[in-house]
Amino acid sequence: MEKYQHTIKHPVTLEGIGLHTGVNTTMTFKPAPPDYGIRFQRVDLPEKPEVPALADYVVEVARGTTIQFGEAKVYTTEHILAALVGLQIDNVIIELNNIEPPICDGSAKHFVDVLLQAGIEQQQALRDYLVVDETIRYVDEKDGVDIVALPTDDYRLTVMIDYSNPALGSQHTGLFNLEKEFIEEFSSARTFCFLHEVEHLYERGLIQGGNLNNAIVIVDRELPRKDIDRITKKLGIRDAIVMDKGGTLNNKQLHYKNEPARHKLLDLMGDLALIGAPLKAQILAARPGHASNVEFAKKVRKKYLQHKLVKKYQLEGKQGTVFDVSALQRILPHRFPFLLVDKIIEFKLDEKIVGVKNVTMNEWFFEGHFPGKPVMPGVLIIEAMAQTGGVLLLNGVENPDGKLAMFTSINNAKFRRPVVPGDTLVMEVTMQNRRARMAQMNAKAFVEGVLAAEADLSAAIVDRTTLPGSSNPQ
């Protein structure tokens, strides 16, 4: 796999209709600088807004992956993204003069061809791989979906589909070498649907641009001639011939015997591009679809953002430590004598954090609380838990260096046992609810596994510059 980031050498354009909306669109791929990522730009809208190709911006997954930022929306992004992943292109601007890119023939092949025509250029920046180092799994028992990412120093995909439909049956496929297999074995796999779905999809406002030049229709039932004529008229097909069950409408020839499975792998590749980083992982997917792909991508993206945060603040790897005290001073504004967390030993982005405070006799507050009977003040235990929670508010999306967590309420505070010199305070904080600038957390502090204190904390996330007399601590 490539070591350095890549873009294209020259702009390249293609035109066509969108599969679901039926709109006619002109699309232009343009070079982009290092670390720019993949962004769609709606040049037909005022201000020409951009939509980053990230899972954070997915708004619809009905037979395609739609992303939106503000008023700018882009339908059916997955085939374009698969082409970029397959060619290992990291940075590109995709200009569109309408809401949906061309579907072309229903595969990624046309996009691959024009990108190769534009030429691929190596950039000086290194690729920031997400190296999966532990099993990541997504399961949807209702739909029988199971997607797993396993550690490997490569990029591999294996897909199995089973629609419980005898017209298609079960199929599987696998991509094990991106450079050697993607273009020839997967880029030309076309989108498909079943004959019984066509009318329903059309009535839902989908496949308005669908026809037999950009989709495969699998015949899974016998229909009277009048029904065939009605359906094929909607698809703009003349003189339709319907084969027996298990065939394709108008006897359309498949590129591969397992072309549906290969297309599902292509869709998965495109949806996983929404993680926002190239992957080194073995992906095993049973019965994937856009909804499950995106949920899995969100889960993996969270790991990626967590990885970036840890790498940003923790400059030296330490066994059993996520953030040491030096890293904490880069994250939190607190300083002596009010930094009450020594290290973070567990960190799950937007979910849970575990911090440690080693309580010694040298603590400044023991001098007066209480002479001859040193006890850590309950308010400072709350403060230590709050500081731990402040680290949990890092999310990798906003600029954390310019933010402060201002606690707005403390509820249900209880103190179960005194904390004294020699104790190690282990603080577990879990996220209960988070919105853009508000968070609610539950915090517990333990000593030797025994609950010492607990509280429900609420915080507002504010810009440091909005506070009177504020300045960033050094």
Catalytic residue numbers, as ranges: 290, 369
Relative to beta strand 403-415, strand 450-463 is antiparallel
Judge whether 27 and 96 are in contact, CB under 8 Å: yes
The Cα 128–Cα 277 span in angstroms is 7
Q: Which residue type sits at 303?
A: K
CB atoms within 10 A of CB 257: 9
358 pairs with which residues across the strands? 424
Q: Which residue type sits at 282?
A: Q
CB atoms within 10 A of CB 38: 23
The Cα 120–Cα 114 span in angstroms is 11
CB atoms within 10 A of CB 222: 11
- Which one-letter DSSP state was computed for residue 408? E
Joined together, the tokens standing for residue 280 give 């080194």
Sign of CA dihedral 388, 392, 393, 394: positive
The Cα 77–Cα 257 span in angstroms is 25
3-class state of residue 286 by DSSP: strand
Q: Tokens 């006799």 appear where?
A: 361
Q: Which residue type sits at 89?
A: I
Diameter of the chain measured on Cα atoms: 98
* CA separation, residue 281 to residues 126, 176, 309 (Å): 18, 11, 20
CB atoms within 10 A of CB 471: 9
Residues 6+ apart with CB under 8 A from 338: 383
Q: Which residue type sits at 338?
A: F
The H-assigned helical ranges of 334-412 are 378-392
Judge whether 51 and 39 are in contact, CB under 8 Å: yes
Residues found in the chain: 474
440 pairs with which residues across the strands? 433, 458
Q: How many CA atoms lie within 13 A of 471 on its CB side?
A: 3
